[in-house]
Amino acid sequence: MQRTIFSLAFVAIILSSCGGSKKQEVAETPTLSGLYASKFKGTVDEKETALYVLKNTAGMEVTVTNFGGRIVSIAVPDKNGTIKDVVLGFDSIGAYLGNDSNFGALIGRYGNRIAKGQFTLDGTTYNLPVNNGENSLHGGNKGFHNTYFDIRQIDDQSLICSYTSVDGEAGYPGNLQVKVTYTLTDDNAIAIAYEATTDKPTVVNLTNHSYFNLSGDPRQTILEHVLFINADRYTPVKADLIPTGKINPVKATPMDFTTPTVIGDRIDDATFEQLVFGTGYDHNWIFTASNDVNTVACKLICPSTGIFMEVYTSEPAVQFYSGNFLDGSQTGKNGIAYRQRTALCLETQHYPDSPNQPSFPSTTLRPGETYTSFCKYKFGVE
């Protein structure tokens, strides 16, 4: 009997090795937002790309890729408990590489615009890539959004993105050591802490460029969203969206969001020149409670889902951009074309063109100093 059992086992092994029994493949489990980690495996600058997943105890999920340190998805429950992905992006690394976009990216060295791609620091003039008319925007086409960040995941709820921007990269002086920490808190907030040091005087203005649509369906616009900005002043711009240098009150203008206001109510007011210049909102608001991380700086609400997002920051200002230049040419997650005003950005920051505007708060960083900035996007339902 023992010999018979041995023989049957031997035959089974032979059949298995010859394909007599097929090995069952285990299906890859998607993230809450429907992404597959395997689709984010690739190479950038001869380094491997990946998708990193953060989850908290409340059921919220955030995914990040090391290409541009980008937030790829933010999955939160709506008022009915249905999970919604509330940021724009793509479902594979190849799609990011094939699009010159800022979706979800860390922005540097200088977020926003610098006039004519030029600034002077300590008597030396530096020339930057021009990629927005005559101006430099978000560090140029090879800004941080198109570079590789080393990512170290600390635990289920936090990771660190690191990058060294070498002296002369994109025209900026100094070797800049950058560290950005993403932390997903148990009260459904994604906190972003920035640090940077330099070995030469330089300018720095880091931010995140996530596009939000709290409906979770970017086939819908954000025009029905309700927005509050705790700011009583803003920096008006010229036709090329470079600040004039003035600081104007928002009161009695379409720029006043000091009380919660439906975004679409005034966005196409052709009698207000600033909205004509921006084709909608694309301006810098100055917070009333500047640098106060415990005060709500902005609050965005989607009436249909009940999802709200509060913004807290150590920065003095925010760029509210209403997705005016999205034109349907980019197809994102779930095969949805991203059309005009299907999402908005709330980029915490120092003012645009500060290196050329002596009256604006300084963005100069010198050796021995540490640049720090903090922003938190907190989600809930009401």
Residues catalogued as catalytic: 209, 347
Q: How far apart are CA 73 and CA 79, in angstroms?
A: 19
For residue 274, what is the enclosing H or E element? helix 273-278
State the DSSP code for 215. T
Hey, what are 127's tokens?
């020339």
Q: How far apart are CA 337 and CA 339, in angstroms?
A: 6
How many helices (H) and strands (E) in the chain? Answer: 3, 28
Q: How far apart are CA 159 and CA 234, in angstroms?
A: 34
Name the nearest CA neighbour of 289 among 380, 228, 363, 203. Answer: 228
Q: How far apart are CA 199 and CA 19, in angstroms?
A: 62
Amino acid at 198: T
Q: Where are the alpha helices (DSSP H) in the chain?
A: 2-17, 93-97, 273-278
Q: How far apart are CA 111 and CA 98, in angstroms?
A: 22
Q: How far apart are CA 202 and CA 204, in angstroms?
A: 7
State the DSSP code for 182. E
Using DSSP, state whether 379 is helix, strand or coil.
strand
Using DSSP, state whether 2 is helix, strand or coil.
helix
Do 159 and 106 meet the contact criterion of CB atoms below 8 Å apart?
A: no
